[in-house]
Structure 1
Amino acid sequence: MNLKISLAKKTLIFYSIIGFVIGCASIYNLIWGVILHKTPTYRIGLFSLFGFIIFPVLIISTYLKNKCVIERDNIQIEKIKYSFSEYDFLITTHQLAFKDRSLFSIFRKDYFDFVIKETNTNNIVFETDLDVFQKDIEKMKRAFPAGKIKYQ
């Protein structure tokens, strides 16, 4: 079973919404403000002129950096493959105080981390926050072979 998932799905959704608004505003500012001189241009900056280019690049790079493919015998994050025989996989849960929570998930209590450790040396090779929905975490748990993922 192959499962492709982005480890930063909520961030991608946020960037997509903000990127659409900034992209439309930057195209408007570029065409009507700078090229046609029909509206006053108060500030010419990177986002006000080229936000329609910058945000799609930001979204694509975020997706590629956090793309995770779970296959039958290994897991691939970015371009690095981690085999199930050489690495241990953990999904850890922790709770944050209200003051330490991010602005976009202020009411969420449980936060999840995805950790990959070497089996022999127990060194942490990869660790990241799982910025996905609970449904996606359940899909990840089902995609791993039996006994290959641990929960803490």
Structure 2
Amino acid sequence: MKLKICIAKKTLIFYSIIAPFIIYGSAYNLIWGIILHKTPTIRLGAFSLLGFIIFPVLLIYTYINNKCIITADSMRIGKTEYKFADYDFQITSKELAFKDRPINSLFKKNYNYFLIQEMATDRIVFEKDLDVFEKDIEKIKNAFPVGKLTIDN
């Protein structure tokens, strides 16, 4: 069995919803404000002129770096491969204060984290917020071989 999933799915959905507005606003600002001089140029934020280029590139980069592929003997996140024989995998839940919560899920209290720990040295080599839906966490649990994934709630 092979499972492909993006571990930053909620973040990508959130930014994909606001992306068309930023892309349209930055293209409008560049074309009609700077090139044609028909409207005044509005400078709001880092993406005011080249957001139509930078924002889609950032979305693609986020997807590629957070793409997780689980196969029968290993797990690949981005370009790094973690063999089941060499690493321990764990999903743990943490409670975050309101000021530390991400903007796309402010009212959620408990957040799931994915930890990968090297078996030989007990060193944590990967720790990342699992920004996916509950059904995706279930898919991840089912894709792992029996006994290779520990879940702490």
TM-fit CA distance, 1:106:
2.0
Q: Amino acid of the residue matched to residue 102 of structure 1?
A: P
Q: Which residue of 2 aligns with 1:133?
A: 133
Q: Amino acid of the residue matched to residue 12 of structure 2?
A: L
Q: How many residues align?
A: 152
Residues 15 and 55, structure 1, Cα contact 8 Å, conserved in 2: no
Instruction: Note the residue ranges of structure 1 that are not aligned, 5 or more in a row.
Output: none
Residues 86 and 119, structure 1, Cα contact 8 Å, conserved in 2: yes
Distance 1:78 1:64 in 2: 6
Greater than 6 Å deviation, 4+ residue runs: none
TM-fit CA distance, 1:129:
0.9
Which secondary structure state, in structure 1, belongs to the residue aligned with residue 132 of structure 2?
coil
Q: Amino acid of the residue matched to residue 90 of structure 1?
A: Q
Residues 9 and 131, structure 1, Cα contact 8 Å, conserved in 2: yes
Q: What is the RMSD computed on CA atoms of the aligned residues?
A: 1.7
Distance 2:15 2:146 in 1: 35
1:109-148 equivalent positions in 2, closer than 5 A? 109-148=109-148
Q: What TM-score does the superposition give when structure 2 sets the normalisation length?
A: 0.91
TM-fit CA distance, 1:46:
5.1
Distance 1:56 1:101 in 2: 24
Residues 5 and 69, structure 2, Cα contact 8 Å, conserved in 1: yes
Q: Which residue of 2 aligns with 1:28?
A: 28
Residues 95 and 110, structure 1, Cα contact 8 Å, conserved in 2: yes
Which secondary structure state, in structure 2, belongs to the residue aligned with residue 115 of structure 1?
strand
Distance 1:85 1:69 in 2: 16
C-alpha change, 1:44 and 1:116, in structure 2 (3 Å) is closer
TM-fit CA distance, 1:99:
4.2
Q: Which residue of 2 aligns with 1:66?
A: 66
Residues 74 and 81, structure 1, Cα contact 8 Å, conserved in 2: yes
Identical-residue share of aligned pairs (%) = 62
Q: What TM-score does the superposition give when structure 1 sets the normalisation length?
A: 0.91
Distance 2:41 2:101 in 1: 37
TM-fit CA distance, 1:67:
1.1
Distance 1:47 1:97 in 2: 29
